[in-house]
Amino acid sequence: MAVFALPIAMLEQRIQQQFQESAQLKQQSAGLLAEPVAQAVACIANAVSNGCKILVCGNGGSAADAQHFAAELVGRFERERPELAAIALTTDTSVLTALANDFGFDQVFSRQVRALGQPGDVLVAISTSGNSPSVIEAVRAAQERELLVVGMSGKGGGQMTALLRDIDVHLCVPHDRTARIQEVHLLMLHCICDGVDWTLMGDPEDIE
């Protein structure tokens, strides 16, 4: 078993740099993304209040974010409220493996969107590069089915930028590093959860 003599001071410096980079990007993103995040809140709050549902997809770390977000809508974020309809398209292994095997991995989300999506629903499509083929195909399917799309990306937005319509919302993190983009994605998802709760239920202090 290898034993490393770690240069603790240098390691601590690297760790502090990670925190600083993340904090700086979040401050920068707050100014750039507060308005589109508020638009995403409005889209999602309108959908669930009208009996529609939220579909969420992404790959890798973005798949984890999709599941996290859906869980907070179906369960709760920080306070009790009625359940909100949300489905992470990343969780059913039988569906995912059948679609990947029979149609190719690019279709694992789009076919679910076509099967489950109805006009008025919202697709939250997460790709740090904006170029993930499976996510791009899901966006196309959502638009065909008359869903609104909240696209979450970074690195300039990639293909997602050109694909999204004026009625859709694009949350593009102004950074090229995947880890930093994912950190801001998670913060924005938490902001959306908080904003939806606030929109539907008001300020916590106003609730008896």
Numbered residues of the known binding site:
59-61, 68, 72, 101-102, 127-129, 132, 182, 190
Task: Tokens for 153, please give them.
Answer: 């990306």
Q: What CA–CA distance (Å, rounded) separates 48 from 60?
A: 27
Chain centroid to CA 116: 18
Integer CA distances (angstroms), 88 to 40, 57, 58, 146, in order? 17, 6, 9, 19
The single residue listed with the structure tokens 């308005």 is 35
- What ranges in the chain are assigned the alpha helix state H? 8-49, 61-74, 93-103, 110-116, 133-144, 158-163, 178-201
Sequence ranges of the binding site for Zn(2+)? 68, 72, 182, 190
Using DSSP's 3-state secondary structure scheme, residue 141 falls into: helix
Sequence ranges of the binding site for substrate? 59-61, 72, 101-102, 127-129, 132, 182
DSSP 76: -
What sign does the CA torsion over 145, 114, 121, 164 have? negative
Using DSSP's 3-state secondary structure scheme, residue 159 falls into: helix
Overall size of the chain counted in residues: 208
Task: Tokens for 160, please give them.
Answer: 């997602």
